[in-house]
Amino acid sequence: MAFGADELRVLRRALAHALHPTPLDDEDVQDCLRLAGSVDEAVREAGRMRAFLLADLARYRDALPGSATGYLELLQDALAAGYDPRPEDLAALRTLSGTPAGAALLARCRTLAEHSVRARLAGRHVAPAPRTRLLALPGGRNGEPDEPKPRPAPPSPSPTPPPTDRPVPKPSEVFPPRRRPAAPPPEERVAG
C-alpha cells in the first residue's frame, strides 16, 4: 500500500496527536476520517483481488493439463501474495512434475505446506482478525485490564440418541464400488 504526499501529512499529524494529545480542529478530524476511509477501501480492494486470484487459480487448476502454463504462473503469483498451497494444488503439481517449472514449484509448495502444518500444530498459526474501522478514543484506554468473561458450560451429551424412522444405510449404499477404467481394445495396445 502506498501513501501520497497529502496522506502522509495527515498520517504524520495523526501520529503526532497520538503521541502528544491536543485538541484537534475539525479540518484535521475530517482529514483523518478521509484517510481511514481510504485505508479501509484499499483493504477491501485487496480482499477482492485475493478472492479473484484464488477463483482464477481454481479455474486454471480444474482445466489442467491444458492450462499448465497459466496455472503455474497464477500459483507463483498467489504464493508471492502469501497463499498457502492446498492439497488440490499439490495433487495438480504432481501431475505437472514432469516439467522443470512444475517440479520446482512442487518442491516449493511442499515446503510451504509443511511449514504451514507445523505452525498450525504448534498453535502459532492465528488467522488474521478482520480489521475494524479506525476510531480515535479521547484519552485512550485507561490501562485497566478487561474482566474475563465466564465460559458457558458445555452441553451434556444425551445417553442414547433419539430414535429415527429412517433405516441406517449399508456401507455399499453410501460408498458405491469403484469402477475400473475400461481397457483399450486389443488392436490399440502397443507392446512396450
10 Cβ contact list (under 8 Å, min separation 6)? 28, 31, 32, 34, 35
Alpha-carbon distance of 88 to 52, in angstroms, equals 18
pLDDT of residue 146: 46
User: How many angstroms separate the CA atoms of 89 and 62, rounded?
Assistant: 10
Q: Which residues of the chain have pLDDT under 70?
A: 1, 124-166, 171-192
| Interatomic CA distance for residues 190 and 102, integer angstroms | 29
Note whether 68 and 52 are within 8 A (CB): no
DSSP 45-93: HHHHHHHHHHHHHHHHHHTTTTTHHHHHHHHHHHHHTTPPPPHHHHHHH
Is the pTM higher than 0.85? Answer: no
Predicted confidence at residue 183, as pLDDT, reads: 64
Distances (CA, A) of 9 to 38, 43, 45, 179: 14, 20, 23, 68
d(CA 105, CA 144): 50
Residue 35 pLDDT: 86
